[in-house]
Structure 1
């Protein structure tokens, strides 16, 4: 799961459903889940069907710096003969590209819906990747949903069905470029992370005070647990959990960073005893040189396991 998806999942859990922003948060999460499903489908197909020697390297969820902040890239393929950026769209309906003014709309179930132009998104991502890597970059829009149909296509960049994509990628090998794959791969791995969580909070005008604090019950998902007899107890479902606070700490780290003021940790976990807090944070949020602050040990796999059980 990427940082964007995790941030949206956390907010959907932690923001009250009566909050003015919750419907927008839920809508964005629904779209992101659909997009992630499409990207996973494309990646699985390419790994299964591509017949290239050597096999390309795949990079997902990249954020290339540009003048406005960052340009997101769904999927990038790196090969000695090409660098290719894919803009994946997991949408259904009839698609209409207007290459004169770069507008885009689709018709689905008889409704006309204006949307951001995938060709503009791809073009922006390709330019950012070219500038950062210093090599030519090709690109394509990929329709991951077989219920999508292009009625009027773009004039600059290709739009490809999922089934045709492997043939298109294989055709790029006949380009004459000879890239330093190891050097470019190292640069891609050194890319700075985007500031999506901060942007998300600002866009929805949210702060830490907007969120439900406490350790979430993995079963009920909306109830704060109580610490009893060295375990977390849910008064609603009666469940007991050993280390449920670990997920809460990781959620905070994703949204607000790894630095955790000790004073706020009492509120975050809803505990009052300082010795209990010390035991809970001993291995999960380490003390640094600065008094009154701890640093959360990143364990994103805990969030991935927690949310994978919810959004299957």
Structure 2
């Protein structure tokens, strides 16, 4: 789970049903979860089945500078004999690639749905990787779902089913070492991490004040916990914990950044006593040089484990 997917999960859980963007957020989260599942299955299959000599490096969710913006890469394979961008699509239906107008649509349950063209997305990604690394790059559109069928194929890039992908990649081998795979991977890993959350929040008109605040009960997931007798307690289901607020701090960080104003911290955690707030933030949100400002200590794994139990 990258930060953007985590931000979608947080917003989906904390936005009230009456919010204007609630339905759109849930729909986008569903699509993102399907995409992430396809990418995970693709990476797992390749690590298990791909038979290439030497070391193969896989990088996921890479954002590479390209022209005035960035190109997002689902999965990037780096080997001493080839570099390949994998555009993973976990979709169902019949797929039609228009090689004249370079448009794309699918037919599902008798309905025609226009969508972003995977071939155009892949072409942009291949160009970005090639320009950034200064090497030749292959590209493949991967169908992660067995319920997807290509009726009209794209013109410039192959579409390969997930089951066939290892064999296809093995056929791309050059037979001689062309690249320093670790050096290329190191250059890519050195790129700054891109946070797509801010623009997404603005597009959906999501602010701190539009969210349900408080420390969410991980059992009920729809109500907030009360701090009583040095524990977080749920009056609905009886759940209790001493550190449930750690998830709330990470949720704030993934949405709005790691800088936390003390005034917002009271509202975020739902406490009023300054001594209680101090104890809760100690070690999790470090006091900054400026009075009333704290920095949340990043622990994304805590969020991944929390939402991993929800979205299995």
Answer whether TM exceeds 0.5 for this pair: yes
Please give the per-residue CA displacement for 1:245-281, whole angstroms capped at 9, x wherever unaligned: 0000001111111111122111111111111111111
Q: Distance in 2 between matches of 1:278 and 1:14?
A: 24
Counterpart position of 2:27: 27
Partner in structure 1 of residue 278 of structure 2: 278
Q: Which residue of 1 aligns with 2:184?
A: 184
Contact 1:35 1:90 in 2 (8 A): yes
SS, match of residue 78 in structure 1: strand
Which stretch of structure 1 is more off in the superposition, 71-80 or 125-134? 125-134
Stretches of structure 2 lacking an aligned partner (at least 5 in a row): none
SS of structure 2 residue aligned to 1:268: helix
Q: Which residue of 2 aligns with 1:265?
A: 265
Alignment of 1:62 with 2:62, yes or no, is yes
* Structure-2 residue corresponding to 1:148: 148
Number of aligned residues: 312
* Structure 2: distance between partners of 1:62 and 1:5: 14
Matched, 1:232 2:251: no
- Map Cα deviations across residues 72-120 of structure 1 (whole Å, 9 max, x no partner): 1110001111111100001111100002111000111111111100001
Aligned to 1:131: 131
SS of equivalent residue, structure 1 residue 63:
strand
Structure 1: gaps spanning 5 or more residues = none
Is the contact made by 1:70 and 1:194 (CA closer than 8 Å) also made in structure 2? no
TM-score, normalization by structure 1? 0.97
Residue 68 of structure 1: how far off its partner (Å):
4.0
Post-superposition shift, 1:70?
2.2
> What is the RMSD computed on CA atoms of the aligned residues?
1.2
**Which residue of structure 2 lines up, in the alignment, with residue 309 of structure 1?**
309
Partner of 1:80: 80
Matched, 1:42 2:42: yes
- Answer whether contact 2:3 2:195 (CA < 8 A) is retained: no
Partner residue, 1:222: 222
- Say which SS state the counterpart of residue 75 (structure 1) adopts: strand
Distance 1:130 1:285 in 2: 41
Q: Secondary structure at the match of 2:183?
A: helix
